[in-house]
Structures are given as C-alpha cells and as structure tokens.
Structure 1
C-alpha cells in the first residue's frame, strides 16, 4: 500500500513531534558520509569509508547494498587484468585490502553464505568508521568477505551489506550505536561528473530530517519474492517525462502506462529501462549514440548511454513519478555530463569528447526489469525500515543544510532527535580587511614573515621538482588522450557484441569460484583493456578474470 504522507514508517510522527514523545525513548543513530575518500594510491574513490586493520588502517570505499547481508570487498590483487595498473585497479575497486599488512587480521574459511550467493574468503579485522562530524566509531573486530570472484561490471566496488539480516546493522545494534534495523541513503553529487560535488550520507538507525524537510514522500512494503529484485524494493513508475527549459513537457511513458521498477542503490545510474523507452528518450532529446562500443560508456560508470557531444544539447530536466504520489526531478547537470574514466595513475578524469546520459538500456525483457539506481538518489532520499518491512522514498532539499539526525527506537516504538546529532555547516570564509595604516611600514614581524615566505617558496619549488621526477614514468594525460583519439577514429571495437551484453538482475550475479574458466576472450579484447575513458571504447573496459569469462559465456 502506498501513501502520499508516510504513515507507518517514521516521517509522519517526526513532522508533528520533532522531539521525544515517550519518557523511555532511547533513539540512537549515526550518519556516515558518502563521499570521495583518499586511497593508498593518493587517488579518490567515492563511497562509505571503512578504516580496516592495524597498526596502519587501510581505507576502503564501499557502496551500500540493499540485497547483501554481509559485506564484501576486494583483496590485494583486486581481481584486475594483468595489464591494468595497480593504481587504476585500486581506484576502480574503491581500495584493496591487504591482510598481510594488518597485524589484527584473522583469516577464516572460504565458503559461500547461502542467502548472498557469494563466495568469499572470510576475514575478521578491526574496523573503524568516520561519522559526518569526523568522529571515529569503533566497530571492533568485524567479519567481512574478500571476493573469490568478481561481482558484475555494474558494481565495481566493494559492497556494504544492509539486507534484512545485515551483520553490519547487527554489530551496530549490539554495540548500542543504533536502536533499530533502519537506514537512510542519499547519493549526493559525484565529483567525477560535477565541479560542484555534494556529499551524500548513509544514516544508520534513523534519518536526516534536514535532507527531507517537508518534502512529499511515498511508502511501500517490501516484495521479497521477486527473483529479479533481490533488494525487495519495488515501486511503480507512473510517469516519465522530459521537462524543457521553457517549461514544456514531453512524455516518455504514456499517461496511462505503468512499470514496476526495482530500487538498487549500488548502481551508478539513474534509470535502467527497456530499449524502446531509451529510444524515445533519445529522440526527444535529439541525442545520438556514439558510433563505437555500441553507444555504451566505459567501466567507471558502466554501460551508461554514451552520446556524441554535438547532439547532447538538451537543456531540460527528467521527471520520474513513483506510485502516482511523488515526482522526482533529475536536473540537467546530473542528466548530461562528460564521460569519466580512470587514468593509469588512478586519478579519475573526464573525457569531454563524449557525453554520458545515466540511463542503461536493455532488450532482455524476461530476465530484467526497470531499475532506479544510486544516481536517482542524488535527487531523492531512500529510507528503509526492516523492522516494519517497508521503505520510503522522499524528495530532498536542494540547498544543503546542517545535519539533523532523527533516531528510531524500535523497542519503545518511538522516534526523537538524537542528542548531539546536529552538525553545524561551516560558514564561507571571508577575506580579512586591512586598514591603510597597516601597510605604511614593515615591522620586524613582517620582515620575519617575508623570510619565512621565501623559505616556503624554495621548499615548494623543490617539492614540485621531486613530484615531476617521480612521475616521469606515468604517461601525461594529454599524451595518452592523443593516443586514444587515434585508436578511436574509425575503429569499431566489437560493437555488436557489446550491444548484446545483458545485465542480469541489478545486483551481483552468482559468484564464479576462484579459478573457474568458462571461455576465452578473442585476442583483440585484451588489447583495449588499457583505458577506461570511453574514448578508446574498450571492448571490455576493463574485463576482470572470471567476470570476463562469464560475459563471454553469456554472449555465446
């Protein structure tokens, strides 16, 4: 059952009673930033940060998984192809955990946990979280899996399990960090696609009232028996339209048409749609697919629509209506953007020669269903309550505000503002003003300051020289972009094969056991695994071990 104003979850009460209404109410909640994290290769990867191991903690960036109960990440090899640099692989996977470098690491068995259907080598180690106020939260020794085989190409990073029987949520509850099996997620705006990024957040045990304000919302019961949506979060798409800059509306779906869609927060896309709806969207936008790689983007945001820049001129927005109750608008800046890629040194760059539209298209109607991905949650807010077996989607406030955590106490059936849960928004810095009399003469302190400044300048020049020497062996961005441009012109890399790659379910497919071999790639595929930038349009960009074999089997 759907409701315009949330009735059974937790919004309705908090709008009326913003503080505790029960004497014994003991809500607890924490909020973790979903943002760019600096990895060991000094590049950045977006996700929820785990600091793992001791004495020197290793940073791993994870995507929140609504289907997994356990947490899975990648080990020291990253399961990357041999001709992919370690730096690039590290960024692609959101960090690589090396148990040999942790004194607190305990290795367990290599088994498959039945519900997750994922084979991994189980490891227990110290885990520390950093909340949105930059305070450390010690999770203690926590078990997680190091993948024995890759997931699928649509989710390239490790995944933080938040399913109904989540071991992570259980650990937080046992440690009295949260008081309910609830979480809320906001994707934010990725620095990979925008010069004005916005941090997202994963709130555990409640939600952030500052993000939702008085926005409309809709609540839906979980659907646990649909094999095409293991997340269990199915909504009805009751409207899909393009809003022109002048205010006109062009419908992608007929006004009487509806489609079921699965909410999959781990996907780096806004929508996954049958090809017929993509075709209509492209026609209305005037967008033309790139001639290579089947019109798909590279591996960082895998399989998004890649279009020619001169046809990416649509200036309007995309509106998505859910359950006939809530319309979410995807602004133009998140609808069309330069294609991001990972350079050999691990840094995420943008390729202005191709534009991406965050829509994935598919033709296998029996095996797939429409999906709302993580980028949809740049303009919407997801709130999950496993205790009541329901979830809510709300609009979000466009202007960032100070965080205001609301905790949920399931035991006492109450909600309340969390003590100390408000984090102040830093004020913008203002240049200091100086009176004219301050510059009339140099004092002894000013002279000393000049000397210090000169010494700092010398140190800076020396540092720049050192970095230039250190990076001599890493190709310059301009150099390899020129090389890729040459390979891009007039070379169609197995375009037909790429068009037939089928996304399975929107969550990780069944894992391939380590060492399992199901097929061989044609010789040309590995030739183009070097770049992820979408300009060279790699045949498999990148293709990783068993994942590569799986795809080849599917194509056959």
Structure 2
C-alpha cells in the first residue's frame, strides 16, 4: 500500500491507459433523486438515471464494484417481503422495473456470454450469496441502453435475475463495474472513454436545498478538483485471503467524534482497529465493532430506540431532541483522514410509504452505523456515506483503487 500525490496518480492512470485518450472526455453522470411513479412526485430513489429499451423506460442504477455484468430487474423484482412489504414500495426502491414486452428492441439471447456479457462474475467468500447463481439462472437479454444522454449500445447485454440473490435493502439495479465490466469494456471499444477507470462521490442529502449536493459517477476518468491533500492508493485484490469481495480492503485505525468546542473523542482502542471492505452500494456509513455505537452513546448521552428498518436498514434510531451535533472522522492506517459531516451520518428517519412516497419521521434520527461482530468472520464494510467525505477512483487498467479527500472541480480523463 502506498500514498501518492495527485501528479503521481495522474501519471499512473495515463501510463495504464489502453489507448491515447487526450481527446476523449470522460463521461459524467449525476447521482441524484429520480421520480419513479409519474403521478407521485415524492416517489424518489437516489442513483444514476438511465433508460432501457425502445421506447426508453426509466430505471435507476447503483454502481457495484464486484460485478462484471449489469443486472436489471423486471416485474419479478425479488424484494425481501420481510423488509419491503408492498409491490409499490418494491418498484420505487428497485428504481423502477423493466418490461420486455414494452420494448421493440428487446432480444432474448442464448446466454449472457454469447450476448456479449462477461462469462464469469467476480465473487468472494463474503459477497452476496446469490452472485454465483446469477449467470445460470437469469434471463439473458440484449436491449438499447442509455445512461443519461449517452447511448451505450443499441444491443447492450444484461441479465434479468430469476432468484432472490441480493439483500432486500440493497435496492436499485446493479451496474457492474468489476474487473471485466461489460459496461466499461463496451464504452472503451466504442471509443467513448479512453480507459477502464471509474470514480464516485455520493453527494450530500437529507439536508436543506441550499446544502444538498448531487453526487457523480465518472467513467473513464475522475474529477480532478474534487480532491485535495493526501491520496491513498492500493492494489485491487479480490482473493479470499483479503476477505474483501470488492477488491478494496482498508484498515480503519481510528474513529473520532469531533466535538464543536474543538475536542475529539476517540471511539476505538488500538485493539479495536479493524479491516473494512469498501462497498459503495451499501446503505450505511459503516459496519463496525460495537465500540463505535457504544462510544457514540456514551459521548452524546443518548440511548438507542432500536434498529432501523427503513432505507437505512441496520442503523440505529435515536430521539431527535438533544442530538449530538459534531462530525465524525474516520482514519485509515495509511494516515488518510476522512471527515463525515454530522448531517451525513446522523440523518432523519426516512422510508418509502405504501403509495411509493418518500416519507420522513423528523422526531427520530438514524445513526448510519451497524454493529458487526468479529466472531462471524465476515469483514466490516465502508458504505456509500463514506463517500460524502471522500472520493473513490478505481483503475482497472492499473489494477488499483485510490481514496482521496474531495473538493469541487472539473473532469480529467485517464
């Protein structure tokens, strides 16, 4: 593992590019709220808006770093009924549903590899248990895919799942950005991007409109001015020895609460430091040892009302009166420190109502931390809210991933 400056980061990326890319601009897509049901304005899901089929059907993607293929749900969306208990809620949380009979460009293929997809899915010991069955059980399809205003292909290969393979709370359609990503390979082959690089910043939500910020997914590069300070770069490693199915394992050495008077309170003892797998589609900030939640409660003087079963499934609920108002700083063993704003790890309770509307209970807040016990042997995770304070770049050509503190800016190609 190494720490590199931004110039070194750019040189590594350019050296690894498969083709000259000075004239090829990276593709930039917002991570934003998308209305799912036309008649219900608050039927919102956050993700990457796209269109599938002819005429185009709106769907919402989330980037999955461990998947090579892209998977799109149809009218059999396999939401977990113990968590999502109506078809309308399922439709909204899945980011709308694909209808093959409504698409004149639909084509059923013999199998996903012959359709042009990846023949093997990246998977690991602790990945979603159904990934290993997706290739054999899903419906192989080719259809028109547009992401934003970009037409990816008139016959893009993807699979339609025919089993309940993911956690029911993971929600939207998985965009495969793994080491043999069909999407990245298609865009490189078409000359739309110059390298198999992708970058993500989740944005800021659940705040006033003046403070809200859409996130972004960049394919073929990164936003050079969303980064400042140290960069932490490490080799991608999907082997079972790391226990990290996304290939991105880091060591969390410190978690501090930042008190408004300038003091910090450390929540981890040296013996509590833990390895974590970066999983940007996960719905929380982190899964962590019990010391994090216990330390938060001891410092803030509050007690949990119980676990959350809303959009932030697995977090902890607290009464909204007299809430702790400080930030949280997560430090990696590399020395990189990422500061998470208070309003991005301690958020109002949010869920989807039976009619598909996004609803809030402002009398309760959710701590976006789940307890993970080491005795179960699975690695802890850093989820999407880690990228409200950090920026992630994955470079498959170089075989590396980089975590960087973010700042606003412009897009650089790699």
Using the size of structure 2 for normalisation, the TM-score is 0.86
CA distance in 2, matches of 1:314, 1:120: 46
Q: Counterpart of 1:337?
A: 347
What do you get for the CA RMSD once the two structures are aligned?
2.6
Matched, 1:351 2:361: yes
1:79 offset after TM fit, Å?
2.5
Which structure features the higher share of strand residues? 2
Q: Counterpart of 1:406?
A: 412
1:95 offset after TM fit, Å?
1.0
CA distance in 1, matches of 2:20, 2:167: 48
Is there any run of 5+ residues in structure 1 with no aligned partner, and where?
Answer: 15-21, 409-556
CA distance in 2, matches of 1:250, 1:84: 40
Q: Secondary structure at 2:349's aligned position in 1? A: strand
Which structure features the higher share of helix residues? 1
1:86 offset after TM fit, Å?
3.5
* Equivalent residues of 2:48, 2:60 under 8 A apart: yes
Q: Secondary structure at 1:10's aligned position in 2? A: helix
1:44 offset after TM fit, Å?
1.9
CA distance in 2, matches of 1:216, 1:2: 11
Matched, 1:58 2:57: yes
1:287 offset after TM fit, Å?
2.8
> How many residues of Structure 1 are paired with residues of Structure 2 in the alignment?
385
Q: Counterpart of 1:296?
A: 307
* Equivalent residues of 1:300, 1:341 under 8 A apart: yes
Q: Counterpart of 1:35?
A: 32
The aligned runs of 1:132-281 (5 Å cut-off) are 135-150=149-164, 151-191=166-206, 195=209, 196-212=211-227, 214-226=228-240, 228-254=243-269, 258-281=273-296
Q: How has the CA–CA distance of structure 1 residues 299 and 280 changed in structure 2, closer, same or farther, with 3 Å as cutoff?
A: same
CA distance in 1, matches of 2:220, 2:230: 21
Superposed CA deviations along residues 323-361 of structure 1, whole A, max 9, x for unmatched, are 332111111111212100101221111112321011111
Is there any run of 5+ residues in structure 2 with no aligned partner, and where?
Answer: 114-118, 122-130
1:215 offset after TM fit, Å?
3.1
Q: How has the CA–CA distance of structure 1 residues 110 and 306 changed in structure 2, closer, same or farther, with 3 Å as cutoff?
A: farther
Q: Counterpart of 1:79?
A: 78
CA distance in 2, matches of 1:258, 1:168: 36
Q: How has the CA–CA distance of structure 1 residues 141 and 11 changed in structure 2, closer, same or farther, with 3 Å as cutoff?
A: same
Using the size of structure 1 for normalisation, the TM-score is 0.65
CA distance in 1, matches of 2:29, 2:394: 16
Q: Secondary structure at 2:3's aligned position in 1? A: coil
The aligned runs of 1:97-136 (5 Å cut-off) are 97-109=98-110, 114-115=120-121, 116-117=131-132, 118=134, 119-130=137-148, 135-136=149-150
CA distance in 2, matches of 1:375, 1:382: 12
Q: Secondary structure at 1:188's aligned position in 2? A: strand
